[in-house]
Amino acid sequence: MTATNLQPTGKSTYIVVARRSGAVILSSRGPGTSMNLVADIDHPRGRLKAGDLETDRPGRAFDRAAQGRHDYSPEESATDREEHDFALQLADQLDQHRNSGAFEQLVLVAGPKLLGKLRHALSAPTRKLVSAELDKDLVDPTEQELREQLTGLARI
């Protein structure tokens, strides 16, 4: 896979393979053509555990119905918040590429939670270009492995 610029390529499909620790954006002009690396986005905070992301402990309360004290639980964990922030960052980058005319179709590949967050983070115009989704957490797939995973879902 080779790196390319943000040049309009016509009939190009972007394939986003995302995980909490980063994402790659690939470009394909269709079956039988090689995929080109558009961006390799590292997100090191996605590798951190919740305890490493939180700066302080949750508040504590006295439980009148039972004995003792307990922690308040936040509605969203630190790792969920970090995953959400990364989805927003990735969606923003995809909007920039769409605005430059770099792709006409978009394929999203990510684990179920991140895929849902990414889907909601995409702007309406970018979301309209999504032609296929795969809710699978793939770690550094080869081009051949990616094509096999997307067989029947997308013509890349």
| Domains of the chain by residue range | 13-150
Residues whose CB falls within 8 Å of the CB of residue 19, separated by 6 or more in sequence, listed in order: 46, 110, 111, 114, 137, 138, 139
Amino acid identity for residue 52 in this structure:
D
CATH of 13-150, one of 3.30.420.60, 3.50.50.60, 3.40.50.300, 3.40.50.720: 3.30.420.60
Q: How confident is the model at residue 139 (pLDDT cuts 50, 70, 90)?
A: confident
pLDDT computed for residue 31 by the predictor: 86
pLDDT at 8 (0 to 100): 43
pLDDT at 56 over 60: no
Q: Is pLDDT larger for residue 37 or for residue 4?
A: 37
pLDDT band at 53 (very low <50, low <70, confident <90, very high): very low
Q: Is the pLDDT of residue 75 over 70?
A: no
Please tell me the predicted confidence (pLDDT) of residue 69.
52
Phi first, then psi, for residue 139 (nearest 5°) are -110, 115
What integer best gives the mean pLDDT of the chain? 81
Cα dist. 39→2, 56, 137 in Å? 10, 34, 18
Predicted confidence (pLDDT) at residue 27 exceeds the cutoff of 60:
yes
pTM as predicted: 0.76
